[in-house]
Every structure is written in structure tokens, then in C-alpha cells.
């Protein structure tokens, strides 16, 4: 289920009424890049979130975090062209 919410000083306030089965549970929150102050940045010296940090790019790190902890790529024997053909056949055939 996907909902929109307002972040207010450490609390998430959902836009619509919803009852949850548990009082405490993990959820996924998406925060716009430009609203995040990275640990290496002070508020006074904060720069655009898309700027690189050290060897790794901040946008790339943030995108990869969505894959969750312990992510590991498992290779497929298929080429990108074969994957594309498979995806297109799912969509159009």
C-alpha cells in the first residue's frame, strides 16, 4: 500500500486515516534529495545533494540504498537484448 504523508519534526502524519495492525513496523520513506543534509555537510555549507561525496556519487548511493541491506547482484545468463525481448513480450504479446 502506498500513502502520502507529512514529515513534521520527527513524526510522519498520514494524509488519510489508516489503522495498522502493529504499533511498530518498518516502512519505506522517500525523501527528495534536496531536503537531505548529508552527514559530511553542515547546514551552513550544504551543497546540492546530487554532488559527489568522495569516490562514490551521492545520487548513486541513494539509488542503490533502495535495494536494501545485503543486496548482491546475481548474474543472469541472458544478455540485455534478451532481457529486453522478454520484457517486451510480457508487455505486448
Partner 1 sequence: MNVVLDVNIVLDLLLKRRPEYEAQSRCFSQLKQAGVQLWFPACALPTLDYVHQLEIKRLQQANQINSLLAPKQLSRQQLDIFMDSLNYASSLGVHVAMIPKTHPDREDALISLAAWELHDETVIWTNDKHFQSVVSQILVYDHIQLLNLIEPA
Is the Cβ of residue 37 or residue 84 nearer to partner 1 in the bound state? 84
Q: Total residues at the site for partner 1 (CB under 8 A)? A: 37
Tell me if 4 contacts partner 1 by CB under 8 A: no
Is the Cβ of residue 9 or residue 48 nearer to partner 1 in the bound state? 48
Distance in angstroms (rounded) separating the CA atoms of residues 15 and 72: 35
**CB within 8 A of 48, min separation 6: which ones?**
34
Alpha-helix residue ranges (DSSP H) falling in 9-79 = 58-65
Q: Which stretch binds partner 1 (CB under 8 A): 3-11, 13-21, 37-45, 68-76?
A: 68-76
Is the Cβ of residue 18 or residue 75 nearer to partner 1 in the bound state? 75
The answer to whether 50 touches 36, Cβ cutoff 8 Å, is no
- Among 20, 73, 77, 93, contact with partner 1 (rule: CB under 8 A): 73
11, containing H or E segment: strand 11-14
Amino acid at each position: 500500500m502506498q500513502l502520502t504523508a507529512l514529515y513534521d519534526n520527527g513524526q510522519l502524519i498520514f494524509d488519510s486515516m489508516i489503522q495498522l495492525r502493529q504499533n511498530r513496523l518498518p516502512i519505506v520513506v522517500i525523501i527528495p534529495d534536496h531536503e537531505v543534509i548529508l552527514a559530511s555537510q553542515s547546514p551552513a555549507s550544504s551543497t546540492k545533494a546530487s554532488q559527489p561525496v568522495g569516490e562514490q556519487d551521492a545520487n548513486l548511493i541513494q539509488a542503490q540504498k533502495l535495494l536494501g541491506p545485503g543486496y548482491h547482484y546475481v548474474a543472469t545468463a541472458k544478455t540485455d537484448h534478451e532481457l529486453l525481448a522478454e520484457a517486451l513480450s510480457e508487455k505486448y504479446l
